[in-house]
Amino acid sequence: MGNEAPSRNPAGPRTRRAGAHPTAVRVTLLGRFAVCVDGVDVHLPPAAPRLVALAALHHAPISRPRLAELLWPHLEGPVGIASLRSTLSRLRAAQSHLLAPGPGDIAIGLDVTVDVWEREALAARVSNDREAAVHETFAEHPFVELLPGWHDEWVMFERDRLREITIHAIEAQATALAEIRSFARAIPTIYAAMRLDPLRESAVRTLIEIHLAEGNRAQAARCYLTFRDRLRATLQIEPSDELGGLILPLLQRVR
């Protein structure tokens, strides 16, 4: 399983002085797995990257039995707990600041920053604050996949969740931009959502509404017909009546 990305330092990994107290610890989960301590990427013991990643994806402590079940689903309960205990021991010996173990649970360290949390916070601001949606450049940043190459079920669940949060934020941003008639920004913004999910009807609806607001009825109709054909070819279903209601009256007038 691809749990660690290869070092990007051509001179080889740098190391920190043993026992030094870190002032900045960052966990990267988008695009690759990495732990950076005081500006230096560090390597972790075997199995530790998955433990750190799982803890970093949660904002609350996770019970030890649940961690063992997620990380070692093929092992029986006591064996999984033993594997967790062994991994935690090796990790604490190497980087004791990364996790905050409790008597029955484990959380990410209090002073650790996580890139996914920052992405979630920005998505929440854009989704819930119209001013942020208008002024942030959220949709302009390329979407970076969570832990590419990892195939654990919990990773795939979190990957889908983060993608959904991202698309919702992009749709909110496009809608906010359209409301102030900033169509030149709204259109590429909503296309960013459609690239992430070409079958997402809410994104197509937003794009059609933008074209109609601009007076581009032909372009709106083309968008609808293209989406309808894509749905038919991929899922053998039709667009909703609500979406059709935006365009079908225009097409019927032509006939």
The side-by-side arrangement of strands in the sheet containing 99-101 is: 62-63, 105-108, 99-101
d(CA 76, CA 29): 28
45 burial level (CB within 10 Å; 0-12, 13-18, 19+) = middle
Name the pLDDT band for 22 (thresholds 50, 70, 90): low
255 burial level (CB within 10 Å; 0-12, 13-18, 19+) = exposed
Does the pLDDT value for residue 18 go beyond 70? no
Name the pLDDT band for 21 (thresholds 50, 70, 90): low
The pLDDT value given to residue 81: 96
Domain segments of the chain as ranges = 25-110, 115-254
Element (H, E) at 36: strand 34-37
Mean pLDDT of 198-226: 96
3-state class (DSSP) for residue 122: helix
Query: Over the stretch 120-130, which tens digit does the pLDDT of each residue have?
Result: 999 999 999 99
Share of the chain above pLDDT 70, in %: 90
The pLDDT value given to residue 248: 85
Average pLDDT of every residue of the chain = 90
How many beta carbons lie within 10 A of that of residue 65, not counting itself? 14
Give all strands (DSSP E) within 151-241, no chain letters: none
The pLDDT value given to residue 167: 97
Structurally, at CATH architecture level, domain 115-254 sits in Alpha Horseshoe (1.25)
Query: Over the stretch 24-63, which tens digit does the pLDDT of each residue have?
Result: 999 999 999 999 999 999 999 999 999 999 999 998 999 9
The pLDDT value given to residue 86: 97
Same fold, 25-110 and 115-254: no
Structurally, at CATH architecture level, domain 25-110 sits in Orthogonal Bundle (1.10)
Query: Over the stretch 163-194, which tens digit does the pLDDT of each residue have?
Result: 999 999 999 999 999 999 999 999 999 999 99
